[in-house]
Structure 1
């Protein structure tokens, strides 16, 4: 019975793109603990945008949710956001998780299509709530 219920769930690929391994590890742990029972979850972490795009993960059939660091050496979060949102054939949800706190930087990310923006350091509870809110929107 568990198998048939599992097969009816939509696939959700959650990709964490952050060059800080400690934040990657913490986010994976947080996401695995969350109750996201309406989806079959696949979580992977990437050190930078190049590694993420080279993985061809966005080609995987299902829904995609990215948690993206704003400041990275190879490809920063804004570049990733622009590239992901420029492909109109895919619906990709993006939560920016950045040390950039200036209102004009936050506004730029939101105007480019980020679904939410959380500044570092962040509250785990707040992050969980914001992730849940984005996933709720995906459910509809």
Structure 2
């Protein structure tokens, strides 16, 4: 099965086994429950129309819950153990990244969407999110193992 945000099916030729997902839907894949949240891509600029976007909450019994917000800082869920926090994009500013981390309030998190940042930029975002939110950021760039 391929699961995508609903509007993707209208613009991309995908296999027949594709499932459209809108915000507020839940699917079970074995013992994993996936909930979709959000619904709209973050604003890039007021002159661009907003497009569909869903984030995902992953839950499994006796495992930490994980939030991937997609490309939206409005996709916030409660009771999250690990948050994937967008560090940068044409739609994100440091203040919004900090506010997102605060709103989710996960004990641990990883920065994502960091491909356009150099080491100094990534270090700056890490410093501010760590100082101004309760989330302990885990740096996986060094490939050291970590545990929840």
Length-normalised TM-score, structure 2: 0.39
Length-normalised TM-score, structure 1: 0.41
**Quick one: higher RCO (CA 8 Å, sep 6+), 1 or 2?**
1
Higher-strand-fraction structure: 2
From the CA coordinates, give the structure whose radius of gyration is larger. Answer: 2
Higher-helix-fraction structure: 1
